[in-house]
């Protein structure tokens, strides 16, 4: 069954994100969904044609990681936007952040510093499914650097397409806008 792009038009009008930036970003995301479906169809055709041992099949298998992770990370990112940016200090996620980082401010400082690093990629607050521990991680590419067995709790897109149109090289300002629009309820639902 093919994947379908979700409709994120409800995010239009969000403070700190222009309509042009969001529409461009939605189009990019839709491309990941379309390409995930195309690659999966091609792999299925090749498997049925007994071409699974070919270099072309191997490269498509590798490409699927890029397209699928690009699709899914954008969904996590857009899904955790559209809120008021206020974390419920009495909630489960706030307690877990305080437990694992010492304070919300320590976590925020680390998350923002991770997001402001030079380079393209993603900043993700992960939860280790084995220990329950929360930690912030830089993901260089969609398909590289994800810690095995960990669950994304909060996702920040740090590729230029996510901010350059509105913020040029001022990534820190983009991160501030992101924080003002976090839907913490969505992030909390992702906790184990």
Give me the pLDDT at residue 1, please: 81
Give me the pLDDT at residue 143, please: 86
For a pLDDT cut of 70, what percent of the chain falls above it?
100
pLDDT band at 122 (very low <50, low <70, confident <90, very high): very high
pTM above 0.85, yes or no: yes
Q: Does 53 have pLDDT greater than 90?
A: yes
- Supply 140's token pair: 């260089």
pLDDT band at 142 (very low <50, low <70, confident <90, very high): confident
pLDDT band at 104 (very low <50, low <70, confident <90, very high): very high
Q: In DSSP terms, which residues pair with 128 in a beta bridge?
A: 150
The b-or-e profile of 97-112 (16+ CB within 10 A means b, else e) is: beebbeeeeebeeebb
Query: What is the overall mean pLDDT for the chain?
Result: 97
Domains of the chain: residue spans and CATH: 18-79 (1.10.287), 92-189 (3.55.40.20)
């Amino acid at each position: 069954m093919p994947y379908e792009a979700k409709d994120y038009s409800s995010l239009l009008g969000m403070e700190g994100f222009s309509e042009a930036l969001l529409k461009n970003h939605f189009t990019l995301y839709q491309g990941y969904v379309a390409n995930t479906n195309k690659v999966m169809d091609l792999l299925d055709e090749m498997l049925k044609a007994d071409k699974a041992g070919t270099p072309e099949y191997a490269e498509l298998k590798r490409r699927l990681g890029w397209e699928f992770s690009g699709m899914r990370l954008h969904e996590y990112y857009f899904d955790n936007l559209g809120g008021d940016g206020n974390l419920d200090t009495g909630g489960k996620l706030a307690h877990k952040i305080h437990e694992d980082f010492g304070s919300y401010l320590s976590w925020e400082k680390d998350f923002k510093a991770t997001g402001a690093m030079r380079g393209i990629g993603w900043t993700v607050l992960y939860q280790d499914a084995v220990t329950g521990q929360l930690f912030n991680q830089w993901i260089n590419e969609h398909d590289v650097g994800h810690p095995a067995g960990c669950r994304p709790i909060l996702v920040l897109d740090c590729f230029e397409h996510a901010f350059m149109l509105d913020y040029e090289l001022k990534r820190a300002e983009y991160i501030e806008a992101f924080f003002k629009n976090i839907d913490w309820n969505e992030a909390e639902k992702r906790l184990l």
